């Protein structure tokens, strides 16, 4: 079963450059008081100084797709 979550990037930390693994901290759109951390594999070059919304698609507990929203 797939589900999607959207939110604003709060912080991005590169975990493993060779495998494009990141730890993202997002403020979720559903609960603005909630800040969650997710480990993702993405070629998108996240930056801490960008204020941008992202959509994460999950399959179970694993993030399978990261998409920047305009």
Residue ranges covered by each domain of the chain:
2-69
- Please give the model's pTM, rounded to 2 decimal places: 0.82
pLDDT value, residue 4 = 92
The closest alpha carbon to 50, from 70, 32, 30, belongs to: 70
Q: So what's the pLDDT on residue 60?
A: 87
**CATH label, 2-69, candidates 1.10.10, 2.40.50, 3.40.50, 1.10.600:** 2.40.50
Average pLDDT over residues 2-7: 91
In this predicted structure, what is the pLDDT of residue 14? 95
pLDDT tens string 14-62:
999 999 999 999 998 877 778 989 999 998 899 888 889 999 999 988 8
CB atoms within 10 A of CB 70: 4
């Amino acid at each position: 079963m797939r589900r999607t979550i959207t939110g604003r990037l709060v912080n991005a930390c590169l975990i493993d450059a060779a495998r494009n693994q990141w730890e993202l901290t997002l403020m979720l759109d559903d609960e603005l008081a909630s800040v969650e951390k997710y480990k993702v594999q993405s070629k998108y070059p996240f930056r801490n100084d960008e204020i941008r919304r992202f959509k994460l698609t999950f399959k179970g507990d694993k993030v399978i797709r990261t998409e920047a929203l305009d």
